[in-house]
Structure 1
Amino acid sequence: MPVSLIVLTDFFQAANRALDYATNLAEPLGARLVLLHVHRDSVIDPEMFTGKLSNLSKEAINLAMRSLASNLTVPVVAEVGHGRVASAAVDTASRHQPALIVLGRPDYPSTPDELVHTTSLDILRLAPFPLLVVPHARATTAPPRRVLVAVDGEPFGLGKNAFSARHLLNCLSAEVTVLYVAPDAEAQDLGSAALEAVRQASLVANPTHLRMRTVVHDNPGRGILATAQATEYDLVVLITRPRSFLGRLFHRSITSQVLLHSPLPVLIVPAL
């Protein structure tokens, strides 16, 4: 079975950015795209995938999907799901076993973080697949070459997700920098443990080429955001642990903070 990338679309700007980004990844990865639109069956929809819903008829959806697929230069399969977006995405992922699930991050200019309900966090709670979130304003014409990998310094294992992440970074010939955010200057020495954790997890095919960067900041999420700038990097990778998704206040987690505010696309690779 070929490598697959599932791309969620609702035909709005954020989804179109995600599709462009996934298309740029598909060719070097030798992957096909699984284009997924989820028809919302309820008028009262608690999810905020794009901030507004595409209330299209079945015929209009099929026409829009055929139009998107016909303009792509890589192999594509188009599917229509029903119900909640996260559940439909997980069902599709269970059948296609994708290397990545890709979706756009819409603009929430006036909504407090506490009120933002993101589909990405729902998917992460339901399925352990690597997830790539592309900001709505991120226009791309080429695959990422400069990758920032943020880790907490503790050992981790990726299981089957190691192949997806390693395949991505290897096929892109990406320059990988490991980032450790230290709470104070005395903790900077822990950066070497972070680098070793990435090497031991087999995240990259050639771990001897890894670069290391340590930033002092009392808030890990803000430290990552301050470092992840487009002038230096093209993609942020977060290694997240199961505990990151436990509890009810997901907006307080580092993952949520970076997802909501990163100017760069964010690839979340769940650890075991």
Structure 2
Amino acid sequence: MKLSLLVLTDFFQPADHALAYADALASTIGAQLVLLHVRRDALLDPEHLSGRVDTLSQEAIDLALASLTREMAAPAVAEVAHGEVAAAVAEALRRHQPALVVLGHRNTDSMPDELVSTAALDILRATPQPMLVVPVGARFAHPQRLLLALDEEQFSLGEHAGLVHHLLDALPAELTVLHVAPNQASAAAGTAAAREALARTGLALDLVTSLRTQSLVHATPGGGILEAVAGGAFDWVVLVARPRSFLGGLFHRSVTAHVLLHSPIPVLVLPAE
């Protein structure tokens, strides 16, 4: 199976950085790239007020995308869509069936989470899909150490399981299962339950060189995950996002959203059924 990565590009620095990261990743795992540029034509689009929407002509966009695809080390094609980003991504997913959507994330640490609107959050609400969110400060290194943060509940990746299996198999990487709880006893018990939940999915079979576990005591799961990655011991943090994470305004209070908005390393989000 030839993996493909769908990469959102808008010619701004966070997207350019994510594209360079995706190109390095695709070259490492033998994947191909699909560059997607979405022209946000709606006059009432709030992003026009932020200055984060390009005003290039169609000809200029076509020339820029052609230049980008030539510069990629991995095989790449590019296409342009119109309208809302989430809807355009949903259509591209249907046609290309990529293993991952890759997109950049600008630094929003100075803003309250509730006020942050990003393409990643919009896409996850509209079309839950395996997604790699690359913060602007992340430098590419072959992902060899993955931190998989899990709660105690069973989960299934459903239709995405095969592609996720293939992606992890292509890396391959050392996997550490992390469980965060407010006290040591519940952290230890939760870690054992989290490891069992992972085993039931079959994702840990023949995918990684070794499987480790880590318990962490912290007042909040999101804060604990960020504490675990702050020391630089991991290349990616992996989150399993359950459907309840995507319910309207509640999403901004979810662990997934908090880590997405503040992680200093790339975040791989795997939507559960």
Q: TM-score, normalised by structure 2?
A: 0.93
Number of matched pairs = 270
* 8 Å Cα contact 2:133/2:268 also seen in 1: yes
Residue identity matched to 1:114? E
Per the alignment, do residues 51 and 216 of structure 1 end up closer, same or farther by CA in structure 2, a change over 3 Å counting? Answer: farther
* 8 Å Cα contact 1:104/1:133 also seen in 2: yes
Taking the aligned partners of 2:215 and 2:184, their CA distance within structure 1 comes to: 10
Identify the residue that residue 245 of structure 2 maps to in structure 1. Answer: 244
1:217 equivalent to 2:218? Answer: yes
How far 1:51 moved relative to its partner? 6.3
Per the alignment, do residues 80 and 115 of structure 1 end up closer, same or farther by CA in structure 2, a change over 3 Å counting? Answer: same
> Secondary structure at 2:132's aligned position in 1?
strand
Long gaps (5+) in structure 1: none
Taking the aligned partners of 1:127 and 1:102, their CA distance within structure 2 comes to: 14
Identify the residue that residue 268 of structure 1 maps to in structure 2. Answer: 269
Identify the residue that residue 258 of structure 1 maps to in structure 2. Answer: 259
Taking the aligned partners of 2:185 and 2:254, their CA distance within structure 1 comes to: 24
Identify the residue that residue 17 of structure 1 maps to in structure 2. Answer: 17
* 8 Å Cα contact 2:39/2:83 also seen in 1: yes
> Secondary structure at 2:152's aligned position in 1?
coil
1:1-272 correspondence runs (5 A): 2-47=2-47, 52-140=52-140, 142-188=141-187, 189-206=189-206, 209-229=210-230, 231-272=232-273
* 8 Å Cα contact 2:135/2:264 also seen in 1: yes
Taking the aligned partners of 1:237 and 1:148, their CA distance within structure 2 comes to: 6
* 8 Å Cα contact 1:38/1:82 also seen in 2: yes
**Structure 1 residues 63-84: Cα deviation after superposition (integer angstroms, max 9, x where no partner):** 1101110001111110001011
RMSD: 1.8
* 8 Å Cα contact 1:105/1:136 also seen in 2: yes
How far 1:259 moved relative to its partner? 0.5
Taking the aligned partners of 2:252 and 2:204, their CA distance within structure 1 comes to: 30
Q: TM-score, normalised by structure 1?
A: 0.93
Taking the aligned partners of 1:145 and 1:60, their CA distance within structure 2 comes to: 38
Q: Identity percentage over the alignment?
A: 53
> Secondary structure at 2:18's aligned position in 1?
helix
Residue identity matched to 1:186? A
**Structure 1 residues 88-129: Cα deviation after superposition (integer angstroms, max 9, x where no partner):** 111111111110000000122543221111111111112132
Per the alignment, do residues 132 and 207 of structure 1 end up closer, same or farther by CA in structure 2, a change over 3 Å counting? Answer: closer
